[in-house]
Amino acid sequence: MRRNIKIILVPGFSYLSLGAILEPLHTLNKLYPDLKIDYELVSITEDYITSESGVKIYCENVLQDAIKDIKRKAQSTVLFLCCGLKTPFDVQGLLKRILRTCNQHKILTFGVGASGWKMADAGILANGEGTVHWTTLAAFRERNQNILAHDALFVSSEHITSSPGEAAALDMTINFIKTEYSEEHADRVCDHLMITFTRNGDLEQPKSNAQRLRDVPKSLQKVISIMEKNLENPLTLKIISSDAGLSLRQIERLFAKHFKKSPKKYYISRRLLHARQLIEQTSLSIFEVSIVSGFASRQIFSKYYKKEFGFTPSKTRRSP
């Protein structure tokens, strides 16, 4: 089947994400011309659209005109949406319209960057699954409690896939080629682009904590995974040790060796970072943040918070 692929760009999109989508598709088209893949860049507003890094991109079409084409070719259309966190207010309504139109027609939709937030706002991820960049994941979970949010490179929920973008957009696009066409198609594209390997979508997003965990024993990774999944409802170390199949003494030795701190202090630090993200990214009160971060009172929370970061939760909220 001929595929009509539309890549919609919203002001502030990531240029890296665009390349991670466009280059594999272009390569696939070049290697397999018989597939009859048509792809085009579509601007949500005007002909030229500016990325977050300031690069201007010319688009062959604008969204208002493309919507009719999308409806007419719904069965063959695939949509990729690229947008950053600072999406202009005047295009929010149009974004909802295109996402709901695609959802209504069951069009394969791939969103990168802040697209997960836009999908949630449009209601198309309700009672489904999704992901956003790890720096905003805590806020996303708090604001969208009817969505199962994963710390992952990309997440598919029926015909909708969300990804935090950047390098993860490449893994998502190669997976699309593998699923839509074949593993052989994907492998040839990877060979041509000199990609040694791609990552599975359920892999945790790379971040400083993930980097530190690469060289620690699997047993310690399991303990930390249990902690990360229970930041809002913290478990006792006794329960964690039981779930991990390790003794308390074993866990203490592992943390002392690899992190030079106790498991209790490590767990509190992770909960405090989670709390800081909520303060910076949501309108929850400091009291509410302290509760959903597992602290018994605001006073205890503030004490630990100031010790961890050097300033109070209230000062965090006042910061620009």
Nearest to 130 by CA among 98, 102, 164, 166: 164
Q: Which range, of 20-34, 115-129, 195-209, averages the lowest pLDDT?
A: 195-209
Identify the pLDDT of residue 203: 79
**Which of the four pLDDT bands, split at 50, 70 and 90, describes residue 3?**
confident
What 3-state DSSP class applies to 231?
A: coil
| Residue range 191-199: mean pLDDT, rounded | 89
pTM (2 d.p.)? 0.77
- pLDDT of 168 over the 90 cut: yes
Q: Which range, of 5-14, 84-93, 111-120, averages the lowest pLDDT?
A: 84-93
Q: Which domains does the chain have, with CATH numbers?
A: 3-192 (3.40.50.880), 208-318 (1.10.10.60)
> What φ, ψ does residue 116 adopt, rounded to 5°?
-60, -40
DSSP letter string, 112-157: EETHHHHHHHTTTTTTSEE---GGGHHHHHHH-TTSEE--SS-EEE
